[in-house]
Copies of this chain bind each other. A is one copy, B any other.
Amino acid sequence: MDPRMDNGLNARDLDRRESGNLIGSDKVEGTAVYSLNNDKIGTIERVMIDKPSGKVAYAVLSFGGFLGIGDDHYPIPWAKLTYDESIGGYRTDLSKAELDEAPRHGSDDDFDWNDRERAMDIYTYYGVPPYWI
């Protein structure tokens, strides 16, 4: 059997930027994130990739601000986001209230991604194991 038939999809039907378990980084960027009760929380700005391991360390969620001016940036563990095809965006079980208290960085590039203590704070806040484990 042609292994491409495994999931009942013909290869020609597939978006080059997404297929089954794989998704293109450029498709993730700009995608909306919704809460469990369908409020739009924000937008994925980018994912931060750990170079040695090739693992996604964070998805950076942004909301507020205008054209990137004055907005806040929230590094979120990848595991907290689930793509939901029916809404064309990510679903998260985080509430807006939880995000209000969440670790963030501003527009002035003052976030040190190498600060392991700070990174651990983020993972502790969200209650998931850190990307380097």
Contact = CB atoms under 8 A, between A and B. Distances in A.
Interface of A: 3-4, 6-7, 9, 11-12, 14-17, 19-29, 45-58, 60, 73, 78-79, 83, 105, 108-118, 131
28 contacts: A3-B117, A4-B114, A4-B115, A6-B115, A9-B112, A11-B112, A12-B110, A14-B109, A14-B112, A14-B113, A19-B112, A19-B114, A20-B113, A21-B113, A21-B114, A22-B49, A22-B51, A22-B113, A23-B48, A23-B51, A24-B48, A25-B25, A25-B26, A25-B48, A26-B46, A28-B49, A54-B79, A56-B56
> Oligomeric state, in number of copies?
2
B49 A47 contact: yes
Give chain A's interface secondary structure class: mixed
A5 B102 CA distance: 24
Nearest to A75: B22
A48 B83 CA distance: 15
Contacts of A15: 109
Contact of A49 (B4, B20, B23): B23
A60 to B, nearest CB: 8
